[in-house]
Amino acid sequence: MLPLNAKITQITEESPAVRTFFFDPRFEDLEPGQFVMVWIRGVDEIPMGLSRNNSITVQNVGEATSKLFELKEGDSFGLRGPFGKGFTLPVKGDKILIIAGGVGAAPLSPYAEAAFAAGAEVHTILGARSAGDLLFEGRFEALGNIYVSTDDGSKGVKGFVTDVLKGLDVAAYDRIAVCGPEIMMSSVFRLLEERKALEKAEFSLHRYFKCGIGVCGACCIDQSGLRVCKDGPVFSGVQLIGSELGKYSRDASGRRVKI
Amino acid sequence: MYTLTGLKLKNPTILAAGVLGTTGASLCRVAREGGAGAVVTKSIGPAPKTGHSNPSMVRLDCGFLNAMGLPNPSYPGFLQELVFAKKNSSVPVIASIFGGNPAEFAEVAEGLLPSNPDAFELNVSCPHAEGYGAAVGSNPCLVEAVTAAVKDVVNVPVWVKLTPNVADITSIGTAAESGGADAVVAINTVKGMVIDIESGYPVLGNRSGGLSGKAVKPVAVKCVYDLYTALEIPVIGVGGVSSWEDAVEMMMAGAAAVQVGSAVYDRVDIFSEIGAGIETFLERKGYSNIKKIIGLAHEMV
């Protein structure tokens, strides 16, 4: 499919470096956790998790995102997707734990809302550098218990999401969904591995994407060779045992880069 | 077992270069889970390259258009991937390589030799990398020189992958054969372009690229047909093969084996499906072995 023309209907500043871009059209059949390829014409095309079925939430980190930040309401960008495999939805009566760090809260927010709508009890651990960087706190809070951690202690527990997780009874949850910086995810992975909870856990990975549609192989992870863009980006904890998670990734040329 | 330029293949389907071939683990997955008879790596060159900016591949109604721009970690960076693939794939692993001249090709081939690839495939056909690929592969003298240079430094089979974006593909195939090629592979992608009419921008980051998939199959069949007539060495058919019927057709045109690329979009296990389909077809039609259908169309006059 060629890129759709997505028209920006609204821009919300979530924090100084993070903005949500609402767009038209809307993806009615979004599986929360899926991503889109966002084409900033003349610059680059980058993968982004959907924070709603009609929004992306973007941290300004590079050339493409800076160009995106220059766009105004009424402007447009190209959009392909949604692609990949999302998080597994719980069933009525399940108890789920969301573990979100930084902009990792973006793809987890529609998941938390879909899980709540399906009749699950939704608890969230939301972490960020400081109080001002906490993303979608209100959206998670509206669904159930929320535990907050900040690196600088400006809100909630001073420390990381794992510091909160250590104090929770993991066995009480039917599903655990994780997304955030890789170092955070690998700490969560190790903790859940120790507690033998990987089977019910899912992690959303990010890797350099080239084609984005499962053909080129640039985003394959070791040792399985699974494609993050098509077999993921959401993987079960079991699929990631012995993987490169937290150790290294590959850059655009395919060279290994330490995490 | 099929024998192709001395390599033993469990079936005549091979993963095409540039597809799921960036990592050793991915190549192994295509071999084991996918059922490929052999796998070809991503094209590896003398220095690391990040490739073109995205979008680098889009799906069209009639196929796929891509311009990756030969991203690769260079031969020193790729050695560990090739070692992993050789150790764990249990099928022949063919190293696809590129360079801008005969000396660079020889340097990359020699550089990868410690990982013992089963053969080399020379990329003289990528349509969208300045100074490489088709820039080399549309010049018969250069193709012969590049082939000879690699043959000089390796003692495994050398395949040469050809571009259809030339006036006469057989003259390029003949040059490869004169240079000592053990087989030719035809075809690489056909030059193409798509434009986003909302904005006027060409969609690919590189503006234009190469077309693969369904649309190019008849082009590939004709190229294979002509090369089969012109050359003594085997022709490996590639371009739009996504079913066993496509594979059989390619073989009847003269392909000794087929490569499959874009069709992994639909499913990674396409290789075992094509392999099994060919076997069933041979049985149903009463052909004692696959050689009976290779080049069959040439006899039907």
The burial class, CB within 10 Å (0-12 / 13-18 / 19+), for B11 is: buried
B6 lies within 8 A of chain A by CB: no
Residue to test with chain A: of B15, B20, B23, most A Cβ within 10 A: B23
H or E element, residue A184: helix A182-194
Q: Is the pLDDT of residue B5 over 90?
A: yes
The verdict on pTM exceeding 0.80 is: yes
Task: Name the pLDDT band for B267 (thresholds 50, 70, 90).
Answer: very high
Q: Is the pLDDT of residue B138 over 90?
A: yes
Residue to test with chain B: of A2, A83, A245, most B Cβ within 10 A: A2
Query: What is the token pair recorded at B133?
Result: 């690929």
Task: Name the pLDDT band for A22 (thresholds 50, 70, 90).
Answer: very high
User: Strand, helix or coil at B179?
Assistant: coil
pLDDT tens digits, one per residue of A49-84: 999 999 999 999 999 999 999 999 999 999 999 999
Closest CA to A86 of A184, A1, A204, A198: A204
Task: Name the pLDDT band for A1 (thresholds 50, 70, 90).
Answer: confident
Catalytic positions of B: 126
Q: Which residues of B touch A251 (CB under 8 A)?
A: 50
Q: Which residues of A touch B198 (CB under 8 A)?
A: 5, 76, 78
Residue with tokens 């680098």: B56
Q: Which residues of B touch A220 (CB under 8 A)?
A: 20, 22-23, 25-26, 29
Query: What is the token pair recorded at B55?
Result: 């979008």
Spacing of C-alpha A116 from chain mean position: 18
Q: Give chain B's mean pLDDT.
A: 97
Q: Is the pLDDT of residue B209 over 90?
A: yes
Q: Is the pLDDT of residue B128 over 90?
A: no
Q: Is the pLDDT of residue B132 over 90?
A: no
B264 lies within 8 A of chain A by CB: yes
Runs of H (alpha helix) within chain B: 24-32, 74-88, 102-112, 134-137, 140-153, 169-178, 217-230, 244-253, 270-285, 296-299
pLDDT of the residue at B271: 98
Percentage of chain B beyond pLDDT 70 is: 100
Q: Residue B65: beta bridge partners?
A: B58, B211
pLDDT of the residue at B129: 82
Task: Name the pLDDT band for B126 (thresholds 50, 70, 90).
Answer: confident
A43 lies within 8 A of chain B by CB: yes
Cis status, amide bond into B46, omega within 30 of 0? no
Spacing of C-alpha A27 from chain mean position: 17
pLDDT of the residue at A15: 93
pLDDT of the residue at B223: 98
Percent helix, percent strand, percent coil in chain A, to nearest 5? 25, 35, 40
Q: Give chain A's mean pLDDT.
A: 97
Mean pLDDT, residues B141-146 taken together: 96
pLDDT of the residue at B146: 97
Helices and strands: H and E segment counts in chain A: 5, 15
pLDDT tens digits, one per residue of A160-196: 999 999 999 999 999 999 999 999 999 999 999 999 9
**B22 vs A46, A76, A218: nearest CB:** A218
**Closest residue in B to A38 (Cα–Cα):** B55
Q: Is the pLDDT of residue B85 over 90?
A: yes
A222 lies within 8 A of chain B by CB: yes
pLDDT of the residue at A207: 96
Q: Is the pLDDT of residue B127 over 90?
A: no
Assess if CATH 3.20.20.70 describes domain B2-299: yes
Task: Name the pLDDT band for B134 (thresholds 50, 70, 90).
Answer: confident
Percentage of chain A beyond pLDDT 90 is: 99
Closest CA to A104 of A184, A208, A191, A207: A184
Mean pLDDT, residues A155-161 taken together: 97
Q: Which residues of A touch B18 (CB under 8 A)?
A: 216
pLDDT of the residue at B133: 85
**B203 vs A3, A220, A222: nearest CB:** A3
Minimum mean pLDDT among B13-27, B109-123, B129-143, B281-295: which range? B129-143
Q: Residue B212: beta bridge partners?
A: B64
CB contact under 8 A, B265 and A218: no
CB contact under 8 A, A252 and B71: yes
Separation CA B65–CA B262 (nearest Å): 10
Q: What is the ipTM of this complex?
A: 0.96
pLDDT tens digits, one per residue of B154-205: 999 999 999 999 999 999 999 999 999 999 999 999 999 999 999 999 999 9
CB contact under 8 A, B198 and A5: yes
Q: Which residues of B touch A227 (CB under 8 A)?
A: 20, 26
Task: Name the pLDDT band for B130 (thresholds 50, 70, 90).
Answer: confident
Q: Which residues of B touch A216 (CB under 8 A)?
A: 18-20, 22, 56-57, 66, 68
pLDDT of the residue at A149: 98
pLDDT tens digits, one per residue of A96-117: 999 999 999 999 999 999 999 9
pLDDT of the residue at A96: 98
Q: Please, are residues B166 and B172 in contact by the beta-carbon 8 Å criterion?
A: yes
B55 lies within 8 A of chain A by CB: yes
pLDDT of the residue at B37: 98
**B68 vs A216, A223, A224: nearest CB:** A216
- From A229's Cα to the closest Cα of chain B, the distance in A is 12
Helices and strands: H and E segment counts in chain B: 10, 14
- The CA distances from residue A146 to A29, A129, B147, B189, in Å, are 27, 17, 65, 53
Runs of H (alpha helix) within A51-177: 63-70, 105-117, 137-141, 161-165
Closest CA to A65 of A77, A53, A82, A80: A77
pLDDT of the residue at B135: 87
